[in-house]
């Protein structure tokens, strides 16, 4: 049911790398080595990458940590994040005593040089291009900003903003940095530890420490070595996990999930990266020009029922900004769930009031025409559309399914040649989702007012105020009821049941530093 859809540039898979930071270190794991199966690693300099594998947080640690429960930045490698009232100056500290695997101490100049490197080479440099200049005094770094932008916080908390020694950045070419640098992290690449296309072997960095308040272990990792295997076929992955040859599978296919969910030797954890699948209706179409018809469709969808037909591989969604996205608004979700979801009887009532009467075959009719439309669905995901068609039939809709390649879905919606279509976005920061969610350029809510609301929220430095704005923007989206959040595709990590310390945070990210047997 996975679509190979790249939106907002490219979808990243660094759920785990966002929180990697070590700790304690006094008690080692009873088992000295850890073996995981991951997606492929393409380099250690994550600034140059457009996606990272889940386990790369073992090797490189983000500058800060996003605390989804507080909706704000907290300490990690760097500490004491502060933003001025005008949003144009940010300061933070680089604590003493943090050492790379080379034995060199992490210095403020390394952080500045690393961000400068990112501005030059990163495909995501736009996310913090508002940094005009940087300087440090003592252990305090100051960022001078052209303007405050909320997406900057996302990148500074993610696995794409790490620390590399300035000496290495000055001496190595970008090509040499890919596998030759020593990012600050719990583990470092072992000598001759990279086997192209096959595995990465890591050794513990005993000089590691951080200040992440969301983890217990703030020092070196609990394992002496870590072997990361990739490009392993699914059958071999699951058999090796069950046999104890592998400690963790970072990401499961749907078939693997179904095979392992009842295995007593295995623990499964929901590590879903924020995403939203939604339903957009063309308000210019004959059927959906009436807002009460659109409301009726929204009310008729049974998300729990859809989850059942795919064995729990999706989670119901009641807001465009999903529950694990930064600045998630509970108020917006509650409003949609209460007023625009899970009420087929109200859906029938609205259709009656709109003049759509039940026909002999159960499909409603008005002025000699049936309540019928075509939904563009993805060719590799028809189970849910079929279940949804049956749900809508119960209130009087006839939904025809036309399964086409995902890019043609978006092309037709953008060209306004559609009745309704399925869409998908995946990102952990709300502004990119809100800026990208209107594929229908003629949609009634796709206005200059809407774009100004998003822009204003993106420049709001206060986290609580920004969360309220994100909620208000979604309420604006809901006014026209042409965009219906449906579900999030879930992803899971599997591990040996005796492996402890795997903690999934409120935003779906999972630190690996507490892992131990």
Question: What pTM did the predictor assign?
Answer: 0.86
Question: Is it the case that residue 22 has pLDDT exceeding 70?
Answer: no
User: How confident is the model over 459-470, as a mean pLDDT?
Assistant: 93
Q: In the structure, what pLDDT confidence band is assigned to residue 18 with cuts at 50, 70 and 90? A: very low
Number of H helices, E strands in the chain: 15, 22
pLDDT digits (tens, 9 = 90+) for 328-356: 999 999 999 999 999 999 999 999 999 99
| Confidence label for 42 from pLDDT (cuts 50, 70 and 90) | very high
Domain extent, residue 398, equals: 276-489
Identify whether residues 162 and 200 lie together within a single domain. yes
Same-domain status, 328 and 442: yes
pLDDT at 270: 94
Mean pLDDT (the chain) is 93
Question: pLDDT tens-digit profile of 219-271?
Answer: 999 999 999 999 999 999 999 999 999 999 999 999 999 999 999 999 999 99
pLDDT digits (tens, 9 = 90+) for 426-458: 999 999 999 999 999 999 999 999 999 999 999
- What pLDDT, on the 0 to 100 scale, is given for residue 16? 53
Band of residue 25 on the pLDDT scale cut at 50, 70, 90 = very low
Residue 430 lies in a domain: yes
Pair (285, 364) in one structural domain? yes
What is the reported pLDDT for 14? 46
Residues 200 and 308 in one domain: no
Clarify whether residues 252 and 389 are in a common domain.
no
In this structure, are 109 and 219 located in the same domain? yes
Regarding whether 297 and 322 lie in a shared domain, the answer is: yes
Question: What is the average pLDDT across 356-368?
Answer: 95
Written in H, E and C, the secondary structure of 356-397 is CEECCCCCEEECCEECEEEEEEECCCCHHHHHHHHHHHCCCC
The better pLDDT of the pair 18, 207 is held by 207
Number of Cβ within a 10 Å radius of residue 309: 15
Per-residue model confidence (pLDDT) at position 6: 39
Check: CB of residue 485 under 8 Å from CB of residue 318: yes
pLDDT of residue 380: 80
pLDDT bucket at 70, cuts 50 / 70 / 90? confident
Residues 367 and 445 in one domain: yes
> What is d(CA 418, CA 285) in angstroms, rounded to the nearest whole number?
8
The verdict on residue 257 lying in a domain is yes
CB 158 within 8 A of CB 76: no
Structural domain count of the chain = 2
364 and 398 within one domain: yes
pLDDT score for 27: 63
| Residue scoring higher pLDDT (20 or 39) | 39
Lowest mean pLDDT of 68-72, 212-216, 295-299, 374-378, name the range. Answer: 68-72
Calculate mean pLDDT across residues 305-309: 95
The predicted-structure confidence for 311-335, as pLDDT tens digits, reads as follows 999 999 999 999 999 999 999 999 9
Q: What pairs with residue 23 in β-bridges? A: none
Q: Which of 106, 96, 102, 105 has the alpha carbon at shortest distance from 203?
A: 102
Q: Which residue has the higher pLDDT, 8 or 121?
A: 121
CATH assignment at residue 123:
3.40.190.10
312 and 199 in a single domain? The answer is no
**Is a pLDDT exceeding 70 seen at residue 158?**
yes
State what percent of residues in the chain have pLDDT above 90.
Answer: 88
Same domain for 294 and 220: no
> CATH code at 444?
3.10.105.10
Q: Which H or E run contains 421? A: strand 420-425
* Res. 8: pLDDT tops 50: no
pLDDT at res. 52: 87
- Higher pLDDT, residue 53 or 21: 53
Paired strand residues for 494: 249, 268
Does the pLDDT at position 194 exceed 70? yes
What pLDDT, on a 0 to 100 scale, did the predictor assign at position 24? 45
pLDDT category at 148 given cuts 50, 70, 90 is very high
Exposed, middle or buried: residue 111 (CB in 10 Å: 0-12, 13-18, 19+)?
A: buried
Do 261 and 280 reside in the same domain of the chain? no
């Amino acid at each position: 049911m996975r679509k190979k859809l790249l939106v907002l540039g490219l979808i990243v898979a660094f759920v785990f790398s966002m929180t990697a930071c070590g700790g304690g270190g006094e008690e080692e794991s009873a088992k000295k080595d850890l073996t995981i199966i991951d997606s492929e690693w393409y380099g250690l300099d994550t600034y140059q990458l457009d996606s990272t594998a889940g386990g790369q947080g073992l090797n490189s640690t983000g500058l800060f940590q996003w605390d989804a429960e507080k909706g704000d930045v907290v300490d990690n490698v760097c500490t004491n994040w502060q933003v001025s009232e005008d949003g144009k100056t940010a300061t933070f500290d680089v604590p003493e005593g943090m050492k790379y695997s080379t034995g060199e101490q992490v210095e403020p100049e390394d952080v500045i040089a690393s961000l400068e490197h990112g501005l030059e080479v990163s495909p995501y440099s736009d996310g913090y291009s508002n940094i005009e200049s940087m300087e440090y005094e003592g252990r305090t770094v100051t960022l001078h900003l052209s303007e405050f932008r909320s997406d900057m916080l996302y990148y500074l908390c993610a696995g794409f903003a790490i620390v590399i020694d300035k000496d290495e950045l000055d001496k190595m070419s970008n090509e040499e940095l890919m596998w030759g640098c020593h990012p600050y992290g719990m583990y470092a690449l072992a000598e001759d530890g990279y086997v192209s296309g096959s595995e990465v072997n890591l050794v513990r960095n005993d000089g590691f420490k951080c200040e992440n308040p969301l983890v217990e272990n703030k020092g070196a990792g609990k394992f002496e070595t870590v072997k990361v295997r990739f490009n392993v076929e699914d059958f071999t992955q699951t058999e090796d996990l069950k046999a104890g040859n592998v400690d963790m599978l970072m990401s499961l296919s749907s078939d693997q999930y179904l095979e392992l969910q009842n295995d007593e030797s295995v623990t499964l954890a929901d590590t879903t990266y924020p995403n939203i699948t939604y339903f957009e209706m063309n308000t210019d179409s004959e059927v959906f020009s009436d807002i009460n018809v659109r409301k009726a469709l929204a009310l008729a969808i049974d998300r729990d029922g859809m989850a059942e037909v795919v064995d729990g591989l999706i989670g119901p969604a009641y807001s465009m900004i999903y529950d694990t996205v930064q600045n998630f608004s509970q108020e917006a979700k509650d409003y949609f769930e209460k007023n625009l979801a899970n009420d087929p009887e109200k859906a029938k009532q609205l259709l009656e009031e709109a003049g759509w009467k039940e026909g002999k075959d159960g499909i409603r009719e008005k002025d000699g025409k049936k309540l019928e439309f075509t939904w563009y669905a993805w060719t590799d995901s028809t189970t849910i559309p079929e279940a949804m068609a049956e749900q809508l039939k119960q209130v009087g809709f006839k939904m025809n399914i036309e399964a086409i390649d995902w890019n043609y879905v978006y092309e037709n919606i953008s060209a306004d040649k559609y009745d309704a279509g399925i869409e998908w976005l995946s990102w952990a920061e709300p502004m990119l989702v809100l800026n990208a969610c209107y594929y229908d350029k003629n949609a009634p809510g796709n206005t200059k007012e809407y774009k100004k609301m998003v822009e204003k929220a993106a420049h709001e430095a206060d986290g609580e105020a920004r969360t309220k704005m994100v909620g208000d923007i979604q309420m604006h989206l809901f006014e026209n009821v042409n965009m219906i959040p449906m579900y999030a595709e879930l992803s899971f990590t599997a591990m040996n049941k005796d492996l402890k310390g795997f903690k999934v945070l409120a935003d779906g990210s999972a630190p690996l530093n507490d892992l131990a047997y």
